[in-house]
Amino acid sequence: MLRLSALYRFPVKSLAGEALQHAAVDALGLAGDRRWMVVDSASGRFLTQRQLPRMAQIGACWLDERTLQLSASGQAALQVPVPPADQALRGVSVWSDSLQAPDAGDAAAQWLSALLGRDCRLVHVPVSRARQVDTAYAQVGDKVGFADGFPLLLIGQASLDDLAARVGRPLEMLRFRPNLVVEGAAPYGEDGWRRLRIGEVEFERVKPCSRCAIPTLDPHSGERADDGQPLRTLATYRRDADGVYFGQNLIQRVTGVLEVGMPVTLLD
């Protein structure tokens, strides 16, 4: 039987995530996921662990629906309120998308800049300012916050286990930063799913996830693997002309609540 075995939320793009036992799914995916982003102060361009591995060691969690908490070893935690949707707007960019996003203020900017060693700002995306998902894969009106391209990422536990066996050492699921982990399928069984339901929430699988260099970073220390693993192994059997793939991008078609342990039903 297929079941939801883990739920992960990443409140700030490229900062550490949090494991959840239950979570709501809203118009932008997992509620509170990738709703904040760190950007370069001058250009507004998004910053990630690709450039700044130190980001992996900064914790981010929601204290409630209106307050984010940032934490890091040796630093006093900082609470950041959600800024008003139409105030202190800053031009920011995520890949080829540009948008106006509310700035979280100087205290958050100074806290993050001191830790990361460069001038940066923290911005928030309200639902009203969310990006359109690429219509080559989605419907007009499908929206995403600050995730790279799609609202949700699913990985099968057996797929990670198979990859770890090929690499020859255990691998943390957090290297791949999924929202949903499903157990009970064959390795890479999720590649063939089209529609699925977990609880009352229905999802459409829209595109395999092309992987960048982040999985080569230890998700806790931010240290990069000298041997290029696990991407080096993935490239031997999960590559096509457009990149190396692991995991599947989803779009929610019905909102609701998810809980670890729920059965997963394949609809198509």
> pLDDT tens digits for 80-131?
999 999 999 999 999 999 999 999 999 999 999 999 999 999 999 999 999 9
Enumerate the β-bridge partners of residue 62. 68
Task: Please report the beta strands in 42-116, taking only residues with DSSP state E, as ranges in sequence order.
Answer: 59-64, 67-72, 75-81, 89-94, 97-102
- Given this model, what pLDDT does residue 241 score? 84
Q: Residue with structure tokens 């982040």?
A: 214
Per DSSP, the three-state class of 82 is coil
> pLDDT tens digits for 166-184?
999 999 999 999 999 999 9
Neighbours of 225 (CB within 10 A): 16
- Given this model, what pLDDT does residue 138 score? 97
> pLDDT tens digits for 152-162?
999 999 999 99
Classify strands 75-81 and 152-156 as parallel, antiparallel or unpaired. Answer: unpaired
pTM of the entire structure? Answer: 0.96
Q: How confident is the model at residue 2 (pLDDT cuts 50, 70, 90)?
A: very high
Work out the average pLDDT over 62-91.
96
Beta carbons of 241 and 208 less than 8 angstroms apart: no
Q: How confident is the model at residue 228 (pLDDT cuts 50, 70, 90)?
A: very high
> pLDDT tens digits for 24-55?
999 999 999 999 999 999 999 999 999 999 99
Report the distance separating Cα 185 and Cα 189, nearest Å: 6
Report the distance separating Cα 61 and Cα 240, nearest Å: 36
> pLDDT tens digits for 197-226?
999 999 999 999 999 999 999 998 889 988
> pLDDT tens digits for 231-263?
999 999 999 988 999 999 999 999 999 999 999
- Given this model, what pLDDT does residue 221 score? 86
